[in-house]
Amino acid sequence: MPFIPHTEADIREMLAALGVPSTETLFDEIPAELCCGALDLPPALKEMEVTRLMRARAGQNRPLLCFAGAGAYEHHIPAAVWAVTSRGEYYSAYTPYQAEASQGTLQVLYEYQSMMASLTAMDVSNASLYDGATSLAEAVLMAVRTNRKSHSRRILMPKTVHPFYRRVVRTIVGSQALELIELPYDVETGRVDPASLEIHSGTDIAALVIPQINFFGVLEAVDELTVWAAANGAIAIALVNPMALALLKPPGEWGQEGADIACGDGQPLGIPLSGGGPYFGFMCCRKAHVHQLPGRLVGRTVDMDGKPGFTLTLQAREQHIRRGRATSNICTNQGLMVTAATIYMALLGPEGLRRVALQSHQNTLSLMSSLTAVDSVERVFSGPFFHEAVFRTRRPAREIMDGLAERGILGGHELARDYPELGEAILVCVTETRTQEDIESYARQIASLLSHG
Amino acid sequence: MSRLPDDLKYAKTHEWAKPEESGNVRVGISDYAQEQLGDVVYVELPEVGRRVKAGEACAVVESVKAASDIYSPVSGEIVEVNGSLSDAPEAINQDSYAAWLFCVKADDLSELNTLLDAEAYKADAEAD
Amino acid sequence: MLIFDRSRRGRAAHAQLLPESGESPAIPDYLLRKTRPALPEVSELDAVRHYTRLSQQNYSIDTQFYPLGSCTMKYNPKVCHDLASLPGFLNTHPLGLERTGQGTLAGLYELQEMLAEITGMAGVSLACAAGAQGEFAGVAMIRAYHRLRDDLARTEMLVPDAAHGTNPASASMGGFRVREVATDADGNVDLTALELAVGPQTAGIMLTNPSTLGVFDQHIRAIADIVHRAGGLLYYDGANLNAIAGKVRPGDMGFDVIHLNLHKTFSTPHGGGGPGAGPVGVGDKLLPFLPLPVIVKDGSRYRMLTETERPHSIGHLVTFAGNVGVLLRAYVYIRMLGHEGLERVAEFSTLNANYLLKKLVEAGFEPAFPQRRAAHEFIITLKRLAKEHHVTALDFAKRLLDYGVHAPTVYFPLLIPECFLIEPTETESKEALDAFVRIMAEILKEAETDPDRLKSAPHSLPVRRLDEVRAARHPDLAYKSE
């Protein structure tokens, strides 16, 4: 019996104590007609057998040299991150309801909140949400709750926000009578044109979403956008890549007074690609809005002897107290992922993180310079970029991607489905993990595909 | 049972209401409600200028373990809120009749007649 | 001591530090960061030692008996973690999943099929990141179903008063008004109250069975009839599937839509509060509305359905394909159990719960529903202690920590005063249960003779009881360097 420790003698004694002949009797309150027969499931495997099966499955995944980003980034993860995170004391504990017996998890979460607040230059961070897209949805809902001056429930959502994020926001806020207004981008620069906001000036807008870096890898004019939001009574929601913030101006310093909410996906901070999850979402805000923040929060306090300690706090915001009127239905966070991210940030430190960000940026510059040297390859946008960029060739993007895959390269992400107006465009990403040789090989393969095409 | 000043009106939902000469109604929570909630840690107050209906939830008083909606006992416009509670929510535990929450410019003071006097509120709360 | 207190300017984990390139970024100056984030500067050993020591301040399943009711704190097999962490799975980019991740998709597809079989549902989507998101998806599908039929008056979701807080929160997030339904003295849904509550405004009902009260609602078919007759749908919260896995299927009980908590029944890690995974399953009626992606098999290749193929889908709920790593762990777990193994989960979690209940009653504890069999968990109430000795359930819980066991769930469900919701799970041995009973009896004695011992507990943990009022009145949520 896998994972069940009972001996025959145990079972006999336990049944005798209960005065029943068999475990079946314990189910006698369940109407007999409800019981299902044998289920059509594959036969049980021993650990050795399931190991063989899963190794074979993992082997069916084809390892490609990764030049894809678009919301999930391959950064180097120090071995220590998961060696410590996988310890049973983190892995098999639950939400720290009993604070005295959970100081480990609680302190990690407090340190995490501190690191994220500092990275984003915001006052406070929650203890995490599911992922980047859901963090944006929660940020939009929070903005509507927070903005008591606005009654419109209208949100300005740039088209330069990740299309996957936008579709998740649509699903989650869909039943909340919010209006999502799409903001166009400048086809030349690939960023939101601050002038395009003019038609909304003076109207009642609850929030403006500001992605930095945006989906095209381009850097937005965050100061102007934040100033516009403040001037028009809209909450400024910063959607940011935390890795990039080691190098880029943090949301708390945007414009005159900073963004109001910062959110995004924490995956770049020590979380493996893992086919798309689990990652974690983060959300930071100003102190004044903390009571509208969704998700768990850990606070530092003292115990009855005056000794410092940590506990979940401001829980009256949450579903287990407020039920139908909670700030969100979220119950758990992504505790284990956040543990990994905290250890990752501690190992990298401010300088290490900055160098990873800078190296990724420079690798991408290098790739774009090699690529645009290839005949008929063009960079699509002129705006400054970070570690992703969009290029186009004269061949269909699908053929380029297939060709690269045959040569062992995951070439990026095709944009045609979400941005047909961009033609055969590919979004490519280079992190610090790619060598100069990898980069040259990518450019060479593109050149070769174009010369044969 | 806890302190219940005779000169106030009380709602079944544990608010007290005090009509003032100006025609405004000052609102807070009863000593009994404060005791039931325990240590108040946060108060969410309405915007000044907001229109409320009698019985409409327009403030929240939170303790560590509970969040309690506060209903306006009369219809009207919020003309004043007790901002000092943001920094010192414990004032409600110290004296819930001094620590008022908000003040409503009532449309119709006769709505107060539907509230309970101290005696009736006491009987009602004890029956809970 | 915080990691920040260990920080020294200029120290670093050098093996992780890339060389300084010396070049400046090709980014306009006004977009660059001018301040240094206050991240710690420590060596690798500093960090490893700090976080290892912190881990030792946690109670966990690997180190303690953890009978936290409603959370199913059973052993998380190491092999599940190991196999889901194979490089082939970890290094697959989500956008390369169809092109390069066929091994991952094969596992996910089979998991969909197995969960559908286990729950008696027509189709499953693995997209939801956690149970609460599964609930939201379920509620959104119910909404979409009524709307597509132009049945727009159905604006009310019924939720039993004993339900978990996420149920009403999810219902209101899904745009419904929540109406509570009372529980009868046996812990079942009050059928008379239900009859009165349903009507043309009823969109559905959200139920957990066995309920949060730890008993199986025998009238589930009657409930299904009442709600279905009124035109509503039945939503099954899978929080307590551990009690009936492999024995009774929500689909056979009459449920139209379900969510599962893989970190409960299917032994994926709780991780200090996530990551979870909350797959949803539906009957035929709701198939078109399932959240995306749904994985299908075309010949020998696996792929994900798109919006064009499922135009009525409620859409996407997470950025990519869901918490794949968690899903793979559950897949491994189910493959190791098979049908018989799953049925044993239900049998032994129920045996352990009933045995523990019996022994605790013998030791002088008061069950909330003495007339009922326990499912995989049960409730005792400490209201007598509270009355006679002014010792609360919280005091009792804190004292348990001193004895090296994690406390059960306290004060939930809200209906039962001074309650403990106790869930031992099937992976605990008889000795572990007997030891727990001895500890409970010991503390009961203490409560009667030396109640202050409980009121001031815990005494032997890294910290004593924390000042939560101070934490909430003056929130200190982030370290600020001096």
Instruction: Out of A84, A88, A323, name the one closest to residue C62 (CB).
Output: A88
Chain C closest-CA separation from residue B79 CA (Å):
26
Domain C-terminal end among A315, A343, A371: A343
| Whole-angstrom distance, CA of residue A407 vs CA of residue A62 | 12
Render pLDDT for A352-382 as a digit per residue (tens, 0 to 9).
999 999 999 999 999 999 999 999 999 999 9
Render pLDDT for A109-125 as a digit per residue (tens, 0 to 9).
999 999 999 999 999 99
pLDDT of residue C472 exceeding 90: yes
Cβ of C472 and B41 within 8 Å? yes
User: Same domain, yes or no, for A367 and A385?
Assistant: yes
User: Same domain, yes or no, for A358 and A390?
Assistant: yes
A125 near A113, Cβ under 8 Å?
Answer: yes
Cα A45–chain centre separation: 35
Asked if residue A57 belongs to a domain, the reply is: no
What was the pLDDT predicted at A453? 58
Chain B closest-CA separation from residue A236 CA (Å):
21
Chain A closest-CA separation from residue B43 CA (Å):
10
Query: Higher model confidence: residue A329 or residue C297?
Result: C297
How high is the ipTM of this complex?
A: 0.97
Cβ of B42 and C473 within 8 Å? yes
| Whole-angstrom distance, CA of residue C404 vs CA of residue C402 | 5
Quick one: which of A69, A113, A93, A96 has its CA closest to A341? A113
Interface residue A321 vs chain B (CB under 8 A) = yes
What was the pLDDT predicted at B53? 96
What was the pLDDT predicted at A318? 80
Residues in chain B: 128
Mean pLDDT of A98-108: 98
Q: Which residues of C fall within a CB distance of 8 Å from A43?
A: 338
SS3 content of chain A, % helix, strand, coil (to 5): 45, 15, 40
User: Same domain, yes or no, for A325 and A422?
Assistant: no
DSSP-derived letter for residue A377 is -
What was the pLDDT predicted at A11? 98
Touching partners of B (3+ C-beta pairs < 8 Å): A, C
Interface residue B57 vs chain C (CB under 8 A) = no
In chain A, % of residues over pLDDT 70: 100
Domain C-terminal end among A310, A343, A376: A343
A302 near C474, Cβ under 8 Å?
Answer: no
pLDDT of residue A213 exceeding 60: yes
User: Same domain, yes or no, for A84 and A98?
Assistant: yes
Cβ of B67 and A322 within 8 Å? yes
When pLDDT is cut at 50, 70 and 90, the band that residue C137 belongs to is very high
Touching partners of A (3+ C-beta pairs < 8 Å): B, C
Render pLDDT for C169-194 as a digit per residue (tens, 0 to 9).
999 999 999 999 999 999 999 999 99
pLDDT of residue A321 exceeding 80: no
| Whole-angstrom distance, CA of residue A339 vs CA of residue A88 | 13
Cβ of A17 and C51 within 8 Å? no
pLDDT of residue C109 exceeding 60: yes
| Whole-angstrom distance, CA of residue C378 vs CA of residue C369 | 8
User: Same domain, yes or no, for A298 and A423?
Assistant: no
Q: What angle do CA A238, A239, A242 make, to 5 degrees?
A: 105
CA-to-CA separations, C6 to A246, C12, C49, in angstroms, rounded: 21, 12, 11
Q: Which residues of A fall within a CB distance of 8 Å from C41?
A: 349-351
Q: Which residues of C fall within a CB distance of 8 Å from B42?
A: 472-473
Chain C closest-CA separation from residue B88 CA (Å):
8
Residues in chain A: 453
Asked if residue A3 belongs to a domain, the reply is: no
What was the pLDDT predicted at A331? 78
DSSP H or E run through A265:
strand A261-265
User: Same domain, yes or no, for A135 and A281?
Assistant: yes
Cβ of B42 and C468 within 8 Å? no
Cβ of A26 and C31 within 8 Å? no
pLDDT of residue C481 exceeding 80: no
* Helix, strand or coil, per DSSP, at residue A209: strand
C92 near C100, Cβ under 8 Å?
Answer: yes
| Whole-angstrom distance, CA of residue A217 vs CA of residue A431 | 12
Size of interface B-C (CB pairs under 8 A): 14
Asked if residue A238 belongs to a domain, the reply is: yes
User: Same domain, yes or no, for A100 and A246?
Assistant: yes
What was the pLDDT predicted at C482? 60
DSSP H or E run through B71:
strand B67-71
Place of tokens 């935390």: A242
| Whole-angstrom distance, CA of residue C156 vs CA of residue A256 | 45
Mean pLDDT of C31-55: 97
Full set of structural domains in chain B with CATH: 9-127 (2.40.50.100)
In chain A, % of residues over pLDDT 90: 92
Asked if residue A24 belongs to a domain, the reply is: no
When pLDDT is cut at 50, 70 and 90, the band that residue B1 belongs to is low
Interface residue B39 vs chain C (CB under 8 A) = yes
Chain B closest-CA separation from residue C474 CA (Å):
9
Show the tokens assigned to C426: 């099937």
Full set of structural domains in chain C with CATH: 79-337 (3.40.640.10), 345-468 (3.90.1150.10)
Using CA coordinates, name the residue in chain A closest to B45.
A148
The b-or-e profile of A48-81 (16+ CB within 10 A means b, else e) is eebbebbeebbeebbebbbbbbbbbbbbebbebb
Domain C-terminal end among A297, A328, A343: A343
C422 near C380, Cβ under 8 Å?
Answer: yes
pLDDT of residue A269 exceeding 80: yes
User: Same domain, yes or no, for A87 and A181?
Assistant: yes
Cβ of B63 and A148 within 8 Å? no
What range defines the domain where residue A325 resides? 79-343
SS3 content of chain C, % helix, strand, coil (to 5): 45, 15, 45
Q: Provide the number of structural domains found in chain A.
A: 2
Render pLDDT for C12-34 as a digit per residue (tens, 0 to 9).
999 999 999 888 899 999 999 99
Mean pLDDT of C215-225: 95
Chain A closest-CA separation from residue C482 CA (Å):
14
Q: What angle do CA A32, C369, C348 make, to 5 degrees?
A: 55
Size of interface A-B (CB pairs under 8 A): 22
Interface residue A151 vs chain B (CB under 8 A) = no
Render pLDDT for C385-422 as a digit per residue (tens, 0 to 9).
999 999 999 999 999 999 999 999 998 888 899 999 99
Residue ranges of chain B whose CB lies within 8 Å of a chain A CB: 41-42, 44, 47, 62-67, 69
Strand partners, A149: none
| Whole-angstrom distance, CA of residue C264 vs CA of residue C267 | 6
User: Same domain, yes or no, for A374 and A290?
Assistant: no
Using CA coordinates, name the residue in chain C closest to B88.
C473
What was the pLDDT predicted at A280? 98
Mean pLDDT lowest for which of A239-253, A328-342, B41-55, C130-144? A328-342
Asked if residue A235 belongs to a domain, the reply is: yes
pLDDT of residue B128 exceeding 80: no
Return mean pLDDT, chain C: 96
Q: Which residues of C fall within a CB distance of 8 Å from B41?
A: 469, 472-473
User: Same domain, yes or no, for A250 and A374?
Assistant: no
Asked if residue A275 belongs to a domain, the reply is: yes
Chain A closest-CA separation from residue B42 CA (Å):
9
pLDDT of residue A322 exceeding 80: no
- For residue A396, the domain's CATH number is 3.90.1150.10
- For residue A339, the domain's CATH number is 3.40.640.10
Interface residue C474 vs chain B (CB under 8 A) = no
A415 near A163, Cβ under 8 Å?
Answer: no
Q: Which residues of A fall within a CB distance of 8 Å from C220?
A: 31, 34
Interface residue C20 vs chain A (CB under 8 A) = yes
Using CA coordinates, name the residue in chain B closest to A288.
B86
Using CA coordinates, name the residue in chain B closest to A323.
B67
Interface residue C466 vs chain B (CB under 8 A) = no
Q: Which residues of A fall within a CB distance of 8 Å from C187?
A: none
DSSP-derived letter for residue B29 is E
Cβ of C173 and A88 within 8 Å? no
- Rounded to 5 degrees, φ, ψ at C277 are -160, 135
Asked if residue A45 belongs to a domain, the reply is: no
Using CA coordinates, name the residue in chain B closest to A317.
B67
Render pLDDT for C423-469 as a digit per residue (tens, 0 to 9).
999 999 999 999 999 999 999 999 999 999 999 999 999 999 999 99
When pLDDT is cut at 50, 70 and 90, the band that residue C371 belongs to is very high
User: Same domain, yes or no, for A270 and A237?
Assistant: yes
What was the pLDDT predicted at A427? 98
Chain A closest-CA separation from residue C164 CA (Å):
7
What was the pLDDT predicted at B78? 97
User: Same domain, yes or no, for A332 and A372?
Assistant: no
